[in-house]
Amino acid sequence: MVPTGDTAWLLASASMVLLMTPGLALFYGGMVRSKSVLNMMMMSFGALGLISVLWVLWGYSIAFGNDVGAGMLGDPFEFFGLRGLMEDLTSEEGGLPVMAFVAFQAVFAIITVALISGAIADRAKFGTWLIFAGIWATVVYFPIAHWVFAFDAGDVVGGWIANDLLAIDFAGGTAVHINAGAAALALAIVLGKRKGFARDPMRPHNLPLVMLGAGILWFGWFGFNAGSAVAADNTAAVAWVNTMTATGAASLAWLATEKIRDGHATSLGAASGIVAGLVAITPSCSAVSPVGAILLGAIAGVLCALAVGLKYRLGYDDSLDVVGVHLVGGLVGTILVGFLGTAAAPAGVDGLFYGGGVDQLWRQVVGAVSVMTYSFVVTLIIGYLLHKTVGFRVDEDDEVSGIDLAVHAETGYDLHVSTGAGRTLTGATAGATGSSGVGADADRQTEGSVKS
């Protein structure tokens, strides 16, 4: 028999997490200048399209296929194309539909890839981004998901972090955030700075969009974290409450940091604090108490608010602060489990502050550092290879005049009161024949085109 309550929650969660990627597209898209909003959003939407296909083809199998050696990798062929997974029953004597789990994990893969794009705003070739996304998912994300999320089950052997190291990463602080953050740093280095970085203003063009994105991310994150219980149970409920309260605390902490340092509490700060809190509570939401979550969130809010300035000091153009928010926030959340973890919480492990000594702490640090190192190094290699071969960066001219127009032949907004002044339809590529000729429509007035 299928446990319908758990399945209902898992499917709802998966849907909510899928929405996070469009939410991220808004969050990121609002932060760039209006001339590159579409390209920014397209990196997320491109990841959404591509990874949803790759996951079905070989992603799930690499992550959750039977281990092929040392907890590093699942068998890519075992469930290639999800074969054999459409049957009704999943575990032996009844259990969740495997496909519900496939669904839930798919959206994690998607958003992890999309997160990286924040580091390379305004300047990446879209085609190269897609190639990168496919390779990166295959050689970085899918294996790391195996390390962290594939628990041993019966005969099936899973990943080393989950089963051997026993680091606690409830919903992906390592696999998702540290991973994406390290990759982001690598790509920011590979692509180099935007023209005018740290000199020209590159301020957000649409902050309501950023805040909407943050709101959607928060909403979806309940699926992300509470859904990671893979059941509609007490663990899910605790994760839910911790996800709320740590996030609230992080947002307040970020605002307080700004108010003290800059004199103003900003809306971008509130939105950023929300994401920082969400990131930090991701690995830890099953391991800390609600009061611990407040503390953890507040620490993450302060540290991430300070960390986003690093790029100006160190000189890498992590345009939308993926490092400052996801890498730093992921590290904070993962490592603090070693301090703030309490046996009273569902994960049942005491951290240093609760008398558990350093046992869990070192496991957390090893897990975090391993993922960070692997991700950074491999991403650097992939990035440089693509940069030297197909090229990863658009022309400087296109960057200056705006990547949306150059790459996508589109403009984000046309809010002019005039009725499209100065624009004229010159050709409508039509129909199944694929010919791009001028339509035969008598209504068509060819003198409408420009002969400049």
For the segment 195-224, give every residue that binds a second copy (CB under 8 A): 197-209, 211-212, 214-216, 218-219, 222-223
CB-nearer residue toward a second copy: 88 or 155 = 88
Binding flag, residue 213, other proteins (CB under 8 A): no
**Could you give the residue ranges of the DSSP H alpha helices within 79-125?**
98-116
Burial of 200 (0-12, 13-18, 19+ CB in 10 A): exposed
Long-range contacts, stretch 205-209, CB < 8 angstroms, 24+ apart = 205/30, 205/32, 205/33, 205/34, 205/37, 206/29, 206/30, 206/34, 206/37, 207/30, 207/267, 207/268, 207/271, 208/30, 209/26, 209/27, 209/29, 209/30
Binding flag, residue 400, a second copy (CB under 8 A): yes
Binding flag, residue 412, a second copy (CB under 8 A): yes
Q: Smallest distance from the beta carbon of 245 to other proteins, in angstroms?
A: 24
Other CB atoms within 10 Å distance of the CB of residue 193: 17
Binding flag, residue 266, other proteins (CB under 8 A): yes
Of residues 11-70, those binding a second copy (CB under 8 A): 11-12, 14-16, 18-19, 21-23, 25-26, 29-30, 33-35, 37-38, 41-42, 45-46, 48-53, 55-57
Binding flag, residue 226, a second copy (CB under 8 A): yes
d(CA 144, CA 138): 10
DSSP letter for each residue of 337-395: HHHH--TTSTT----GGGT-TTHHHHHHHHHHHHHHHHHHHHHHHHHHHHHHTT-SB--
Among 315, 429, 437, 444, binds other proteins (CB under 8 A): 429
Binding flag, residue 451, other proteins (CB under 8 A): yes
CB-nearer residue toward a second copy: 183 or 274 = 274
d(CA 404, CA 112): 23
Rg of the chain taking only CA atoms, in angstroms: 23
Q: Smallest distance from the beta carbon of 448 to other proteins, in angstroms?
A: 8
Collapsed DSSP state (helix, strand, coil) of residue 153: strand
Cα angle: 394, vertex 398, 400; to 5 degrees: 115
- From a second copy, other proteins, none, interface partner of 272 (C-beta below 5 to 8 A by class): other proteins
Among 154, 409, 451, 452, binds a second copy (CB under 8 A): 409
Other CB atoms within 10 Å distance of the CB of residue 127: 13
Nearest to 17 by CA among 300, 304, 251, 282: 282
Binding flag, residue 259, other proteins (CB under 8 A): no
Among 305, 322, 327, 335, binds other proteins (CB under 8 A): 305
Site string for a second copy, 230-269 (x = CB under 8 A): -xxxx-xxx-xx--xx-xxx-xx--x-----xxxxxxxx-
Site string for other proteins, 322-351 (x = CB under 8 A): --x---------------------------
Binding flag, residue 83, other proteins (CB under 8 A): no
Binding flag, residue 445, other proteins (CB under 8 A): no
d(CA 270, CA 252): 7
Binding flag, residue 388, other proteins (CB under 8 A): no
- From other proteins, a second copy, none, interface partner of 450 (C-beta below 5 to 8 A by class): other proteins
Q: What residues make contact with other proteins under the rule CB under 8 A?
A: 200-201, 203-204, 258, 261-264, 266, 268-269, 272, 305, 308-309, 312, 321, 324, 400-401, 405, 409-411, 416-419, 421-430, 447-452
